[in-house]
Chain A
Amino acid sequence: MALFSDPRAVARFKKNRGALAGLWLVILLLAFALLGPLIAGQDPNLSDFLHGRGADGRLAGPSGTHWLGVDPLFRDLFSRLAHGARVSLVVAFVATALSIAIGAVVGILSGYSEGTRWQALDTVLMRSVDIGLSFPYLVLVMAIGAALGDTTIVTLLLVLGTTSWFGTARVVRSKTIQIRSLDFIQAARALGQSTQSILLKHVLPNVSGPLIVIGSASVAQMIIAESVLSYLQVGLPPPQATWGRMLQEGQRHYSLTPQLIWLPGSLIFLAVIGFNLLGEGLRDALDPHED
């Protein structure tokens, strides 16, 4: 990893308060997603009609049984938030990985073939990227999500992952063009290394810095995208707990039980802020001249 192999980058990261705050937010979020469902001890999809409603007829607030109260269908709020965190993070990480992988491959191939006898490949790939970028991202995702109808976690992350790599490809392409003309690549060519070897051993490691930064920001973007899809009811079907769906379900109760909105809303907020601060901290640490 470029960050850890460079002590100066680590030092710059440690000095950046925003980056550290982002790191801590991400660590806490991961811990919540990992441990929350275990310590909650409640089925997130099971209604508790016995303890769900208080004597005043309102949804039960925090208690020993339900630490944060219950949702409109009397399901444990803490447990649903924790399970929602898992969904958000799994979708965000896997979709980001997919997006970064596709973007990196397309970007490197395109950049390396630019101005060579493989120019046609660069043209085709970049025009594809142009077409992809011409669609509003969320509209595209929603259209595919609606067309699929039966949305599962696999289809969701495939949709998100395969529709969000266009920007990455552009960045990687320009970085590849820049690297391609450097002396060590010329030397590798002169020594007879294969193109495949050059791409994997020399180009890829040198574009990993931008990829890490894009990846961090992309995780935040995926969290929002998943939440939006769930909020609009074209994400994972009920009763799957997701933060976006919880926001949607909570809005019918906002006037009496506001925590149904601000709890999932705050988690989305903190998660997005965390990953963005982390991403920007990594960018500053890896490329101090870019700011």
Chain B
Amino acid sequence: MRSTRTRIELVLPPILLCVALGCRSSVAGPIGERREVPPQRGGTLHAATYVNVRSLDPAVAFDVASSALEGLIYDQLMGYDENGKLVPQLAETVDMSSDGKRYVFTLRPRVLFHDGKELTASDVKRSIERSLHHDTPCPVASYYERIVGFAAYHDGKAPELTGVEVAGSRAIAINLSEPDATFLHVMALPIVTPVCESAGRSFQRDFTLRPCGTGPFRVLEYNPNQRIRLERHQGYWRPGRPYLDGVEWQLAVQTFVQRVKFERGELDYMRDFSEADSVLYRSSPAWQGFGEWEQPLNVYGIFMNNELAPFDNVHVRRAVAFAIDPRVVESVYPGHITARHRVIPPTLLDPGSDAIAQSHDLGRALEEMKLAGLAYDPVAGKGGYPKEIPYLAVVDTFAQQAAEIFQQQLAKIGIRIRIELLSFPSYLARSTRRKNALMGYVGWNADYAEPSTFLEPSFASSSILDEESMNAAFFSDRTFDELLKKARRSTDALERDVLYRRAEDRVLEEAPWAVTYSYRYFELWQPYMHGYRPHPVLTQYLRNAYFDLEQRRARTRGDSPSRGALAAFARRGRGAPATTLALSLLGASR
């Protein structure tokens, strides 16, 4: 019976998983108590994400997973306060000329890099030039195209970016070719963060392994498939900050494993909840007051590659946009998903009462297919696009689930898609490469609280690159580009809104994306963690967090009365091979 026993061991885990976790509809309580305590130094914060972090080089890393860590490692000339207001960060003062075309940033004194060297204006110029260099695949270089001399420098025709002047050891002046309402916002992005000299003059692939900036934490270990460890930057310019000794960011940890780790106190903070766990935690009386929703400054959709058939035909793109019904997706992940019909969140730009929108209309979708010469008879199931279309989605995410629903909806207009599941880094590489992916999941998180962040990177012609193109639809439309340029140039806020709205309307009409939903995270942290709440603009802005160290010790003592059912179950199960097997499968066994 030896072989049978082997098989049993192999197939038992799913059963045990259910026994260990699945037959229980409650969650463990918080660890320790929430007390009002002043900020104190000490402790390492443990967090996790279900994806891999592709890069920590600020010149190229522009995805959500990287942004959270960049917020800990780098400081910029501009930053945001707790309420999302734009404020100087490394700059002490910012002076703007009356015509809005020259900015002078005066740096704070005694700002040190992680390597111990002092920040100077030359470092700022060098860092900006590095990110906008011809050989650096910066995904949003076009944000900075109004800097004088940008085109010549970015195209490799000039040796330096003439619009950026060193005006003293602590003064840097930036000259623009025309006023730009978004300029100070884009100076708050990690793209132009000062980096150490070791970063080189242009992009170097290995800089991500030894990132070096001026932020509150320096990188101690970067293992792209396992974890990233940060430690306090002892020379940080803000006295007494950061409070934490370090941060450990675990990578590629599945949601159910994260829950187990959180319950066992191995994670202090969590936001990647499964659908069921989200419901349980939010409805648990023990957890009331310890979690908060993140502001959903994002939009998701389906990109369609405008340079490749059949999506080079606007009627096919419109057909897809009409066929998709994002409202039903809300019920798959209640509370987290909100159906969207326009690109810019209404909190940033009021669409007005007469706004056009992409809305579900099967009749119009079929009509558009007919106009594209791909008429489809839904009764007979004949016609439509003859080939199967590969659709990119990130494996084991909500994007995968949404894709399976969209697959059903697109089948109703004669478009058959085949879902290709990829890891997050592979997805980014494939979807941003020119003439590669036909269609797939796409999303955009605001870089700053201004409408242009939802339009320029994703839809402007200037955002198209052969690699790392943020414009995944490779949408190029002169009318849209002109409207966007005018809007950014305008110093009149009302006029700017009108222009943004018209630019957005143009996108909705041309349908490079089928807009689908916005996604908001529910974030939860243990009672002993203080100084954190979801930031209105930035993702997982944990740099100000601190611990109530006394309460946190309850975690290591394991004597908290509210460790919950799972921990109790694990304690009871010690010594029982079946339980150990199930828990070790989850990566939770000590």
Please report the C-alpha to C-alpha distance between residue A217 and residue B274 in the assembled complex, in whole angstroms.
Answer: 36
The verdict on B403 contacting chain A, using a C-beta distance below 8 Å, is yes
* In the complex, chain A residues whose CB is within 8 Å of the CB of B401: 72-73
Please report the C-alpha to C-alpha distance between residue A261 and residue B58 in the assembled complex, in whole angstroms.
Answer: 41
B408 in contact with A45 (CB, 8 Å): yes
A238 in contact with B7 (CB, 8 Å): no
The verdict on B559 contacting chain A, using a C-beta distance below 8 Å, is no
* In the complex, chain A residues whose CB is within 8 Å of the CB of B4: 273, 276-277, 280
Please report the C-alpha to C-alpha distance between residue A72 and residue B15 in the assembled complex, in whole angstroms.
Answer: 19
- CB contacts between A and B, total, < 8 Å: 124
Segment 188-223 of B: residues with Cβ below 8 Å from A: none
B318 CB to closest chain A CB, in angstroms? 24
Known: A49-B331, A273-B7. A262 touches B18 (CB 8 A): yes
B302 CB to closest chain A CB, in angstroms? 16
Most buried by B among A57, A217, A220, A255: A255
Known: A73-B332, A252-B255. A269 touches B408 (CB 8 A): no
Please report the C-alpha to C-alpha distance between residue A133 and residue B280 in the assembled complex, in whole angstroms.
Answer: 47
Known: A47-B408, A72-B275, A72-B401. A255 touches B3 (CB 8 A): no
A285 CB to closest chain B CB, in angstroms? 16
A251 in contact with B334 (CB, 8 Å): no
The verdict on A258 contacting chain B, using a C-beta distance below 8 Å, is yes
The verdict on A111 contacting chain B, using a C-beta distance below 8 Å, is no
Please report the C-alpha to C-alpha distance between residue A217 and residue B401 in the assembled complex, in whole angstroms.
Answer: 35
A258 in contact with B22 (CB, 8 Å): yes
Of the candidates B21, B404, B419, which one forms a contact with A255 in the assembled complex, judged by CB atoms under 8 Å apart? Answer: B21
The verdict on A12 contacting chain B, using a C-beta distance below 8 Å, is no
Of the candidates A73, A233, A252, A256, which one forms a contact with B256 in the assembled complex, judged by CB atoms under 8 Å apart? Answer: A252
Of the candidates A72, A217, A265, which one forms a contact with B18 in the assembled complex, judged by CB atoms under 8 Å apart? Answer: A265
The verdict on B381 contacting chain A, using a C-beta distance below 8 Å, is no
* In the complex, chain A residues whose CB is within 8 Å of the CB of B27: 255
The verdict on B277 contacting chain A, using a C-beta distance below 8 Å, is yes
Known: A47-B405, A238-B403. A264 touches B14 (CB 8 A): yes
Please report the C-alpha to C-alpha distance between residue A52 and residue B3 in the assembled complex, in whole angstroms.
Answer: 41
Closest B residue to A22 using CB positions: B4
Most buried by B among A49, A58, A279: A49
Segment 383-410 of B: residues with Cβ below 8 Å from A: 395-396, 400-401, 403-405, 407-408
B397 CB to closest chain A CB, in angstroms? 10
Please report the C-alpha to C-alpha distance between residue A143 and residue B255 in the assembled complex, in whole angstroms.
Answer: 25
Of the candidates A217, A220, A256, A276, which one forms a contact with B25 in the assembled complex, judged by CB atoms under 8 Å apart? Answer: A256
* Chain B interface extent, by class: 35 or more
B225 CB to closest chain A CB, in angstroms? 15
B18 in contact with A252 (CB, 8 Å): no
The verdict on A159 contacting chain B, using a C-beta distance below 8 Å, is no
Known: A53-B331, A233-B421, A254-B17. A238 touches B400 (CB 8 A): yes
Please report the C-alpha to C-alpha distance between residue A131 and residue B131 in the assembled complex, in whole angstroms.
Answer: 48
* In the complex, chain A residues whose CB is within 8 Å of the CB of B481: none
B7 in contact with A276 (CB, 8 Å): yes
* In the complex, chain A residues whose CB is within 8 Å of the CB of B407: 238-239
* In the complex, chain B residues whose CB is within 8 Å of the CB of A45: 404, 408
Please report the C-alpha to C-alpha distance between residue A241 and residue B575 in the assembled complex, in whole angstroms.
Answer: 37
Please report the C-alpha to C-alpha distance between residue A139 and residue B401 in the assembled complex, in whole angstroms.
Answer: 27
A248 CB to closest chain B CB, in angstroms? 8
B436 CB to closest chain A CB, in angstroms? 13
Please report the C-alpha to C-alpha distance between residue A53 and residue B274 in the assembled complex, in whole angstroms.
Answer: 17
Of the candidates A46, A220, A239, A254, which one forms a contact with B22 in the assembled complex, judged by CB atoms under 8 Å apart? Answer: A254
A162 CB to closest chain B CB, in angstroms? 22
Helix, strand, loop or mixed for chain B's interface? helix
Closest B residue to A237 using CB positions: B419
* In the complex, chain B residues whose CB is within 8 Å of the CB of A221: 7
B23 in contact with A258 (CB, 8 Å): yes
Please report the C-alpha to C-alpha distance between residue A57 and residue B15 in the assembled complex, in whole angstroms.
Answer: 25
A119 CB to closest chain B CB, in angstroms? 33
The verdict on B167 contacting chain A, using a C-beta distance below 8 Å, is no
B11 in contact with A47 (CB, 8 Å): no
Closest B residue to A234 using CB positions: B421
The verdict on B279 contacting chain A, using a C-beta distance below 8 Å, is yes
A233 in contact with B25 (CB, 8 Å): no
The verdict on A79 contacting chain B, using a C-beta distance below 8 Å, is no
B332 in contact with A254 (CB, 8 Å): no
A74 CB to closest chain B CB, in angstroms? 8
Of the candidates A72, A74, A256, which one forms a contact with B280 in the assembled complex, judged by CB atoms under 8 Å apart? Answer: A256
Please report the C-alpha to C-alpha distance between residue A228 and residue B454 in the assembled complex, in whole angstroms.
Answer: 40
Closest A residue to B327 using CB positions: A49
Closest B residue to A244 using CB positions: B14
* In the complex, chain B residues whose CB is within 8 Å of the CB of A82: none
Please report the C-alpha to C-alpha distance between residue A49 and residue B395 in the assembled complex, in whole angstroms.
Answer: 23
Please report the C-alpha to C-alpha distance between residue A277 and residue B3 in the assembled complex, in whole angstroms.
Answer: 10
* In the complex, chain A residues whose CB is within 8 Å of the CB of B400: 238
Segment 1-58 of B: residues with Cβ below 8 Å from A: 1, 3-4, 7-8, 10-12, 14-15, 17-18, 21-27
The verdict on B292 contacting chain A, using a C-beta distance below 8 Å, is no
Segment 121-172 of A: residues with Cβ below 8 Å from B: 149-150
Please report the C-alpha to C-alpha distance between residue A237 and residue B422 in the assembled complex, in whole angstroms.
Answer: 11
Segment 57-86 of A: residues with Cβ below 8 Å from B: 57-58, 72-74
A274 CB to closest chain B CB, in angstroms? 10
Please report the C-alpha to C-alpha distance between residue A116 and residue B12 in the assembled complex, in whole angstroms.
Answer: 47
A83 CB to closest chain B CB, in angstroms? 15
A224 in contact with B25 (CB, 8 Å): no
B277 in contact with A262 (CB, 8 Å): no
B256 in contact with A276 (CB, 8 Å): no
The verdict on A268 contacting chain B, using a C-beta distance below 8 Å, is yes
The verdict on B420 contacting chain A, using a C-beta distance below 8 Å, is yes
Of the candidates A57, A149, A253, which one forms a contact with B420 in the assembled complex, judged by CB atoms under 8 Å apart? Answer: A149
Most buried by A among B1, B276, B396: B276
Please report the C-alpha to C-alpha distance between residue A257 and residue B24 in the assembled complex, in whole angstroms.
Answer: 9
Closest A residue to B273 using CB positions: A252
B404 in contact with A238 (CB, 8 Å): yes
The verdict on A266 contacting chain B, using a C-beta distance below 8 Å, is yes
Segment 213-268 of A: residues with Cβ below 8 Å from B: 217, 220-221, 224, 233, 237-239, 247-248, 251-258, 261-262, 264-266, 268
Known: A57-B334, A73-B405. A255 touches B420 (CB 8 A): no
Segment 153-209 of B: residues with Cβ below 8 Å from A: none
* In the complex, chain B residues whose CB is within 8 Å of the CB of A149: 420
21 contacts between A and B (CB under 8 A): A45-B408, A47-B408, A57-B279, A73-B404, A74-B331, A149-B420, A150-B418, A150-B420, A220-B7, A221-B7, A224-B10, A248-B396, A251-B254, A255-B21, A255-B280, A257-B276, A258-B18, A258-B22, A266-B15, A269-B8, A272-B7
Binding site for A on B (CB under 8 A): 1, 3-4, 7-8, 10-12, 14-15, 17-18, 21-27, 254-256, 274-277, 279-280, 328, 331-332, 334, 395-396, 400-401, 403-405, 407-408, 418-421
- Extra contacts besides A248-B396, A251-B274, A255-B21 (4): CB < 8 Å: A57-B334, A254-B17, A256-B280, A261-B18
